[in-house]
Amino acid sequence: MMAAAPTLAAWPPLVAVAAGPLDAGLTYNTLVALAGVATVGFAAGVAGTLALLRRRPLVGDAAAHATLLGVGAAFLLTGRRDLPTLLAGALVSAVAALVVLVFLRRIARTRDDAATAIVIGVSFGAGLALLAGITARGLPGGAGLEQFLLGHAAALTAQDALLLAAASCATVALVAVAFKEFVLVAFDDAFAAAIGRPVGLIDTALVALVAVMVVVGLPAAGAVLVTALVVIPPVAARQWTTRAGRMLLLAGLFGLAAAVAGVLASTLRPGLATGPLVVLTAAAICVVSFAVAPERGWLWRRSTLPGGEESP
Amino acid sequence: MTAVAAPILEFHDVTVAYGRRPVLWNVDLAIAEPCLFGVIGPNGAGKSTLLKAALGLVPVVGGYVRFFGAPLDRVRGRVGYVPQRETVDWDFPVSVMDVVLMGTYGRLGWLRRPGRRERDLARHCLDRVGLVGLAERQIGRLSGGQQQRVFLARALAQEADVYLLDEPLAGVDVRSQEQIFRVLAEVRDQGKLVVVVHHDLRTAAEWFDRVALIDMRLVATGPTADVLTPDNLRRTYAGRVELLEEIGRAVAERGRTP
Amino acid sequence: MNPTDGTVLVADAGFAFHGWSMATAAVVSAACALVGSFLVVRRMSLLGDAIAHAVLPGIAVAVLAGGRLGGPLVLAGAVAAALVTVWLTRVIHESVGLAEDAGAGVVFTSLFALGVVLVTLFASQIDLDPQCVLFGILELAAFDLVPLGPFLVPRALVTAVAVLGLVAATLLATWRLQVFTAFDQAAARAAGVPVAAVTMLLLGTTAVATVAAFEAVGAVLVVAMLVVPAATAELLVHRMPLVAAVAVALAMVGACLGWVAAWWLNTSAAGMMAVVLGGFYALAVLLAPGDGLVARGAAGLGLAWRVAREDWLARIWRAGEEAGGAGEVARPRPRSAIERAAAAWLEWSGVVESRRGMVRLSAAGVREAETVVRSHRLWEAWLGRHAELPLDHLHPPAEWVEHHLGAAMRERIEAEMAAGEADPHGREIPREAGGRP
């Protein structure tokens, strides 16, 4: 670990003055962590928009609950507690959960919703059993793994934040490049297949992106609530625009705002996990969007004449 | 000795199964000339399935389908498609122009975005179907007939030589139906094959040059007047299909019929 | 108490400890499995998951307002939260046209987050803490005793039994309606069943069951108890009362086994219960009669064997026909491994007599072969008549349909043909043998 990080006071005077009111309690570390969490929030909103457009908004739920198992397994197998190792384990178990989900649906012919619920419940239970077992045996370094349940962004180091930011930027870059393909498949997969697009591959890429975001979002929101970061911002964004590109951007911004606000709010009181606050911020944005967005918002609709321009 | 040109669209002994259950049995159908071709039959008879099999959207368990003598993968750019309207989520945040531009994606490939040429082509196609004023409107705010015409414009933007349309007139008002058919006739006059899955016998008799009667198997095919005879219609619509369905079930369950 | 801080289980307190804990777990999981059977059949598993999360703020508020954990106020709070969830999801869906999924996702995660914040902020005033909300405090149940007559029983068990009673009474009272709505909602509505009320009742019952489960296994694992036993039961039996009964039985056994496993492995009971239930499901996927993977594989093999056998017999028969009705013909060459095996079996069992490179069909063999050839030629005739197929396209379809025609079907096909009609190639169609299919 590095020595005590420089505080804001050591920064160029302009920045110090501008950030004056925030100086209390904020260090370089915290700022980098905030920046990292901000990119994660943005990327989660972006990935979630694609999932919502494809009508599978909860696709990350099973992956999210399975991450706990991977975190525990990574710790057990390597003895290390650094974030990259634990998140790597989380990614492996997230992907495994999604594979099991596909297997249950296609080969075991389980109903979709039941399959998701089964994977969620059993994988989370297994993860919990693993973590509890680790703590019960008092393995060194095993305490604190439960931060991954509800999120604990304050524990992020600058290096961790950079890793998260890098993954998030890669996700956003991929979406930017292949945006029109994702939208094509989400809108009309029959047409997409007819013109020769590999719909299955594109869907797999989408699910992979969501899985990555779910894993990357663990420090900010925790396993139980990270799907909210992927689901809520796109729903809110849909209220404001009828263009897919703008919806994507807006969802990213909402996700960013929720992540940053949630993390900041959690510094107000020690012991408050970050996850619930991030989600509550996102929910607040969503409620506001539902109320005041032009054309679709409730307040707006109350004031238009019946049979106005609204679509059926 | 002169070579015979390959038919534009050929189904050779095509059997299609959902899971293990056959739904289309041994269809042999070849369309050699450009025309307005109707696929007629009762509901659930496999008409849409035939089209989807041609496009590779459902697996073919016996036989093959060829366009211009080649498998679809080699000539995808020459085949246009208008899927059924119900499959689409009309609340989707795209505009009419966005949807029509999707017709150009086949030629654009993965990385290129639609540019000026594509937009001009899209506007031209919208003009042909009479929707150019609505280019920026979100698709949910259109009537049924307008939505169908957007899909047609998208297919036209594919600049294909064969067009396959799945129930393009379902739930569309009469005026729009006539408009759509006029466009299809124009396309045929330009030397393209237009294959339409259609549900209405009366209009089928008026509009199509040739038809195929489908009821889980090909019952008859040829010029419209020759095919739509009372005898053929009875064979199709009165259905000997229960037999095929029972056998299909037995196959799916790996057993025998009683 | 926090299962992840190292104090999972105190020193073994003997039979009473394990007994009470297992009893509580079993009763709780029985209640959840009972209600879960309906949720699973009605494709409402995720709604069950949503309710399990969303009741938290309701419970927190009720406990803050002076209710005891498990008391009637808390049950009311949970039901209220569940109804709010459903109402909000509906409202979002209608005003926005979003898939139900998305609306439910927004609502239940937000409500759960709210609940966690409430529980954290008022931790001193409630005996819930965020960690316990997530994975329950079953391990402490045996120590929180209340007097019941002359006995001291765990409070959690009392709650659980009350909840089971409530759930069972509600569902049994409305059993027919629930089953009808579950299997065919449209028909139920058409028949005048108040579908909305029936559904609300089911969801309210879910909320109540969730409250009992909360204390035992916490929010997230409630979904395992609701869904997994019911999904397992559905693989094994197919009629509703049986599904519910099997689900309850599996749930109770799974809860007890999970407890024992957790004690043995020194880890969280809630987690191990979910794992054990998952194990049952995996076993059912593999071994269920009919739907299980093993059964399906066996059926596939069975068909392949039958096809190989029938093909072999038919080949010998046709060879005999071509040779002008000769009894003995040269042994054909098998075209695949399974055909080779089938040929060997037929010769070993005497259906085919083999001697010095020549084969002859026994009487039984002739009967079976003629049945196959008959099916084949009847199908060719039928196709020739009813589909626009050229002659050379008739053989392949008949090659695979011939194995799937039963006696009655053959009669039906034959009924459509003129007496003594030949197949489209002009070959005679063998008569139906008496008896054998």
Per-residue pLDDT of A102-112, as tens digits, reads 999 988 888 88
Higher pLDDT, C431 or B209: B209
Q: Which candidate, C169, C157, C202, places its Cα nearest to that of C27?
A: C157
Question: What's the pLDDT at C59?
Answer: 86
Query: Residues with Cβ < 8 Å from B122, sequence gap 6 or more?
Result: B97, B100, B101, B103, B104, B114, B135, B153, B157
Q: Distance from C96 to chain B by nearest Cα, in Å?
A: 9
pLDDT for C221 equals 83
pLDDT band per the 50, 70, 90 thresholds, residue A9: very low
If you average pLDDT over every residue of chain A, what do you get? 85
Give the mutation candidate from A55, A56, A191 for the B interface (greatest B CB count, under 10 A).
A191
Report d(CA C353, CA C347) in Å as an integer.
Answer: 6
What number of other Cβ atoms are within 10 A of residue A64's Cβ? 32
Q: How confident is the model at residue B42 (pLDDT cuts 50, 70, 90)?
A: confident
**Listed residue (A254, A261, A294) closest to A278, CA to CA:** A261
Instruction: Tell me what pLDDT residue C86 has.
Output: 86
Smallest Cβ–Cβ distance between B111 and the set A177, A196, A309 belongs to A177
**What is the average pLDDT across A260-284?**
88
Closest CA to B36 of B228, B183, B185: B185
Q: In chain B, what residues touch C412 (CB-CB under 8 Å)?
A: 243
For residue C323, the model assigns a pLDDT of 85
pLDDT < 70 stretches in chain C:
1-13, 67-70, 95-99, 126-127, 418-420, 433-437
Of C389, C396, C406, the CB nearest to B258: C406
C407 against B67, higher pLDDT: B67
A289 or C428, higher pLDDT: A289
Contact criterion met (CB < 8 Å) for C221 and A121: yes
User: Residue C319's CB: how many other CB atoms inside 10 A?
Assistant: 16
A311 to chain B, any CB pair closer than 8 A? The answer is: yes
- Residue at B158: amino acid letter: Q
A241 touches chain B (CB under 8 A): yes
CB B247 within 8 A of CB C408: no
**Is residue C134 within 8 Å of C219, Cβ to Cβ?**
yes
Cβ-based contacts under 8 A for chains B and C: 69
Q: Locate tokens 């990292």: which residue? A: A36
In C, which residues are within 8 Å of A270 by CB distance?
none
Are the beta carbons of A125 and C227 separated by less than 8 Å?
no
CA distances from C305 to B133, C316, C337, C339, C387 (A): 65, 17, 11, 8, 30
Quick one: tokens of B199?
Answer: 């549900």
ipTM of the modeled complex: 0.92
Chain C residues with CB-CB distance to A279 below 8 A = 109-110, 112-113
Statement: residue B77 has pLDDT above 50: yes
The pLDDT score that the predictor gives to residue A22 is 47
Q: What is the mean pLDDT of residues B7-23?
A: 90
Pairing mode, if any, of strands B210-214 and B36-40?
Answer: parallel
pLDDT at B240: 63
Would the CB atoms of A244 and B110 count as touching at under 8 Å? no
From C388, C401, C413, residue closest to B220, measured CB to CB: C388
Task: Decide if B84 contacts B58 (C-beta within 8 A).
Answer: no
- Which residues of chain B lie closer than 8 angstroms to C388, CB-CB? 28, 218-221
pLDDT of residue A53: 93
pLDDT on residue A26: 62
Q: Of B45-59, B129-143, C386-400, where does mean pLDDT reach its minimum?
A: C386-400
B83 touches A at CB < 8 Å: yes
- Residue B254 contacts C where some CB pair is shorter than 8 Å: yes
pTM: 0.87
Determine contact, residues B32/B7, Cβ cutoff 8 Å: yes
On whether the CB atoms of residues A126 and C275 are closer than 8 A, the answer is yes
Per-residue pLDDT tens digits for A125-178: 999 999 988 888 887 766 677 788 888 887 788 889 999 999 999 999 999 999
pLDDT band per the 50, 70, 90 thresholds, residue A205? very high
Residue appearing with tokens 């996102």 = A282
CB count within 10 Å of CB C235 equals: 24
A276: which chain C residues are within 8 Å (Cβ-Cβ)? Answer: 112-114, 116-117, 120
- To the nearest whole Å, the CA of C6 is away from the closest chain A CA by 4
Interface contact A196-B98, CB threshold 8 A = no
H-helix or E-strand spanning residue C388: none
* pLDDT for residue C3: 44
- Which chain C residue's Cα is nearest to A228? C109
Size of interface A-B (CB pairs under 8 A): 72
- Please report all neighbours of B, defined by 3+ CB atom pairs within 8 A: A, C
Burial label for B209, CB within 10 Å (0-12, 13-18, 19+), is: middle
Question: Higher pLDDT residue, A22 or C167?
Answer: C167
Q: Where are the alpha helices (DSSP H) in chain B?
A: 47-54, 96-102, 105-108, 116-128, 144-157, 174-189, 201-207, 224-227, 230-237, 241-252
- Hey, are the CB atoms on A195 and B106 less than 8 Å from each other? yes
CB < 8 Å to A186, chain B: 92
* Average pLDDT over chain B, rounded to an integer: 89
A242 in contact with chain B, both atoms CB, cutoff 8 A = yes
**Which residues does chain B have within 8 Å of residue C383's beta carbon, measured at their own beta carbons?**
25-26, 217
Beta-carbon separation of C390 and B28 below 8 A:
yes
Count of C-beta atoms within a 10 Å radius of residue B69: 13
Mean pLDDT of A57-79: 92
What is d(CA A93, CA A103) in angstroms, rounded to the nearest whole number? Answer: 15
Region B200-208 average pLDDT: 87
Residues of B with Cβ-Cβ distance to C303 under 8 angstroms: 254
Using DSSP's 3-state secondary structure scheme, residue B41 falls into coil
Strand order in the sheet with B193-197: B79-82, B162-166, B193-197, B36-40, B210-214, B218-223
Taking any CB pair shorter than 8 Å as contact, residues of chain C touching chain B are 97, 299-300, 302-303, 382-383, 386-390, 393, 396-397, 400-401, 403-409, 412-413, 437
Q: Give percent of chain B with pLDDT exceeding 90.
A: 57
| CB-CB neighbors (< 8 A) of B58 in chain A | none
- DSSP for residue B193: E
